[in-house]
Amino acid sequence: TTDAAIMSVADGVATITLNQPDNKNALSVDLMNAMGDHIANAEANDDVRIILLTNAGNTFCAGADLRGKSDSVPRHSLVDVMAAIIDCEKPVIGRIAGHCTGGGVGLAAACDISLVEDTALFGFTEVRLGVCPAVISVVCLPKLRRADASELFLSGERIPASRAAEVGL
């Protein structure tokens, strides 16, 4: 099996890679635990100056893991991980190398800076399942104009990276 997220450190940069591409890096218990642990370890490591959050595969993060199958005990929630990113005393840079939806948008918005490949799509797609993006709204709403937030939160439309940048995500 592969680790849900892996961390490497080189030249002062801790790279945390979401590493469940077969599951579109969905926010499983294992992935949340690994991300929370890695962020804490990177912040405590004196050799680390910057934390880079990125992904394996063609999806940065598809949001909640709707399969939800895990024997792991949750140690970190999405709220915990987003708070760790926001509160981190070291800069956290998101390198969004693929589509970013649902809770993944929250992760990208929590980063100090997110760099996104041109072909990526963003969206609050959970609304298509009747789920409000409540948890991630805490980090997304401060970046969005009210009209953009209403449109995106209510439509669930997937938008290109250029539009995500225009609206502040």
CB-count burial class (<10 Å; 0-12, 13-18, 19+) for 83: middle
Looking at residue 32, its pLDDT comes to: 96
- Record the tokens describing residue 65, joined without a space: 């893991």
Q: CA–CA separation, 47 vs 66, rounded Å?
A: 37
CA 140 to chain centre: 12
Q: What average pLDDT score do residues 21-48 get? A: 97
Distance CA 69, CA 28 (A): 8
Q: What is the pTM of this model?
A: 0.95
At residue 16 the predicted structure's pLDDT band, cuts being 50, 70 and 90, is: very high
- Could you give the C-alpha distances from 14 to 46, 47, 136, 154, in angstroms and in order? 11, 9, 24, 36
Model pLDDT for residues 125-161, shown as the tens digit of each residue? 999 999 999 999 999 999 999 999 999 999 999 999 9
**pLDDT computed for residue 2 by the predictor:** 61
pLDDT per residue as tens digits for the range 93-128: 999 999 999 999 999 999 999 999 999 999 999 999
